């Protein structure tokens, strides 16, 4: 695992968490009951991305496991957000997909 790779993944995890929080707040403001899954996934994803960044920062021996789970959660959040046309949902879906890819790559290197 290279230091630039870890820094990139941490940055994308933090960016994803920020995008998820922005999306959740915007969706809550819409007061649309159909956005419940989006809001819940946004909040879960934001929390897990921050957790993942902290595991990476401290070189936890569980980085591969946490990165794999983070990628799965980010993908689920991206899939949900991509269903909605609003800019904040589309931005969140994009950030989630970038984070998922970085986590998969880092997790694979951590296992090697």
Range of the domain at 92: 3-111
17, pLDDT greater than 80? yes
- Report the number of distinct structural domains present in the chain: 1
pLDDT level of residue 7 (50, 70, 90 thresholds) = very high
- Whichever domain contains 49, its CATH number is 1.20.1270.360
Q: What is the pLDDT of residue 112?
A: 64
Contact assessment for residue 20 and residue 77, using Cβ atoms and an 8 Å cutoff: yes
For residues 4-22, give the mean pLDDT: 97
Q: What is the pLDDT of residues 41-94, one digit of tens each?
A: 999 999 999 999 999 999 999 999 999 999 999 999 999 999 999 999 999 999
Contact assessment for residue 16 and residue 74, using Cβ atoms and an 8 Å cutoff: yes
- Rounded to a whole number of angstroms, the distance between the first and last alpha carbons of the chain is 9
- CA neighbours within 13 Å on the CB side: how many for 111? 11
Closest CA to 99 of 81, 65, 73, 63: 73
Q: What is the pLDDT of residue 2?
A: 67
């Amino acid at each position: 695992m290279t230091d630039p790779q870890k820094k990139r993944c941490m940055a994308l995890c933090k960016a994803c968490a920020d995008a998820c929080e922005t999306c959740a707040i915007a969706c809550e403001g819409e007061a649309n009951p159909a956005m419940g899954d989006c809001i819940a996934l946004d909040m879960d994803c934001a929390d897990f991305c921050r957790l993942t960044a902290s595991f990476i920062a401290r070189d936890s021996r569980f980085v591969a496991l946490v990165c794999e789970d983070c990628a799965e959660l980010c993908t689920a959040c991206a899939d949900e957000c991509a269903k909605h046309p609003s800019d904040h949902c589309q931005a969140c879906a994009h950030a989630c997909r970038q984070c998922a890819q970085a986590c998969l790559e880092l997790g694979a290197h951590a296992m090697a």
